[in-house]
Structure 1
Amino acid sequence: MTTCQPLPKLWLLSDERNDAVLEQAIARLPRRSAFVYRHYHLDMAKRQARFAALRDLARRHDHTVILAGSPVLARKWLADGVYGPASAMPRDNALLKIVTAHNWPEIVAAERAEADAIMLSPVFPTASHPGGRSLGPVRFRLLARKTAIPVIALGGMTKDTAKRLDWPRWAAIDGLS
């Protein structure tokens, strides 16, 4: 891992639907949580401006700040790391690498990309993919335990589902907003 800090346990992801409450959500997170900025819906200038404001707020609360995008952009925008598929990960260790995965082949790809963590989803049914198939707790655990890389549970996660899953690291969009 590229940072001296331990990997955060709680991860807030941004989305168009939680944008209006992100400042409050970031401030409510326990110190040393993580914030993943996605905001794919904005044009580049607006996306960068919104990222800078939220990055600065997150840093005031000692949160790790991750950008969904290219490693070049993550470095330019002063993010702590990059979020995305294994194929988009940098080959150097200058950034924290959070790799998305939904199945075993994507977990293997994350291992090959030397990910610092894998965000495995969707654990439960989620508003992001209504009607989509979720892993469920059993399949999630089977996949997550097959890798030595830390796994972050995503998809339908709330304080209640996190307690039910009993997994050390989890992430949410609506569940933390």
Structure 2
Amino acid sequence: MSCQTLPQLWLLSDARNDTVLERALSELPRGSGFVFRHHHLMDEAWVKRLKELLEIAERKEFSTLVPAGRVKCAQMHLNGVQGCIAGIYGPPDTPQAGNLPLFATAHDVTEIVAANLAGAKAVFLSPVFPSCSHPGAPSLGPERFRELAAKAEMPVIALGGMTAEKARALCWPRWAAIGGLSPIT
């Protein structure tokens, strides 16, 4: 990461917010985090889109994460720009990729414990609230979210149905969103 502090605000990408990502990234505060997922794209298109968005991310000194399964692809095609990749995003059992830290995903106590054992730099704990990403799936709610977060040995980033209003209501310093930071049309 370009700065030593873990960002408080994170934008995640996917097919739903692709058309508004340039604007969304430009509007985020300097030093935010960006998780470039785009699972819907094949490797060549994925790398092309990542390169386009990294220009904005680098100018704003964002910490950028890529999914564990795409780290080698990113490193092979970024030709020296790979220093802008701050870590990998994935489940706690993700194998380490060189010296890139793991930013784990977790949904329950088992995954929190696994993230602790894996030495994850941070954990994205979700879904805090009902989310468009998983319609109808049960959410943690504020109380269960706090119970699980207390078991984490690393910073916890709230994810799932998050917006600025919900983050304030939750009183949680670090949060992430897809639609809550990039209105999906």
Tell me the TM-score normalized by structure 1.
Answer: 0.93
Alignment-derived partner of residue 30 in structure 1? 29
Judge conservation of contact 2:102–2:121 (CA < 8 Å) in 1. Answer: yes
Q: CA distance change for structure 1 residues 73 and 43 in 2, over 3 Å: closer, same or farther? A: closer
Judge conservation of contact 1:9–1:169 (CA < 8 Å) in 2. Answer: yes
1:91: Cα distance to partner? 6.8
- In the aligned structure 2, how far is the partner of 1:135 from the partner of 1:156? 11
Q: Do residues 89 (structure 1) and 95 (structure 2) align? A: yes
1:3: Cα distance to partner? 6.7
Alignment-derived partner of residue 132 in structure 1? 137
1:96: Cα distance to partner? 2.8
1:133: Cα distance to partner? 0.3
Q: CA distance change for structure 1 residues 135 and 6 in 2, over 3 Å: closer, same or farther? A: same
- 1:52-71 correspondence runs (5 A): 52-70=51-69, 71=71
Percent identity at matched positions?
51
Judge conservation of contact 2:3–2:31 (CA < 8 Å) in 1. Answer: no
- In the aligned structure 2, how far is the partner of 1:74 from the partner of 1:149? 26
The answer to which of 74-83 and 163-172 deviates more is: 74-83
Tell me the number of residue pairs that the alignment of Structure 1 and Structure 2 aligns.
175
Query: Could you list the runs of 5+ residues in structure 2 that have no partner in the other structure?
Result: none
1:97: Cα distance to partner? 1.5
Which digits, 9 at most, give the CA deviation of each residue in 1:7-40, with x for residues without a partner?
0000000010000000011011111000000000
1:86: Cα distance to partner? 1.3
Judge conservation of contact 1:86–1:106 (CA < 8 Å) in 2. Answer: yes
- In the aligned structure 1, how far is the partner of 2:74 from the partner of 2:159? 22
- 1:91-170 correspondence runs (5 A): 94-170=99-175
Judge conservation of contact 1:123–1:154 (CA < 8 Å) in 2. Answer: yes
Runs of 4 or more consecutive aligned structure 1 residues displaced over 4 Å after TM superposition: none
- In the aligned structure 2, how far is the partner of 1:89 from the partner of 1:54? 26
Query: Could you list the runs of 5+ residues in structure 1 that have no partner in the other structure?
Result: none
RMSD: 1.5
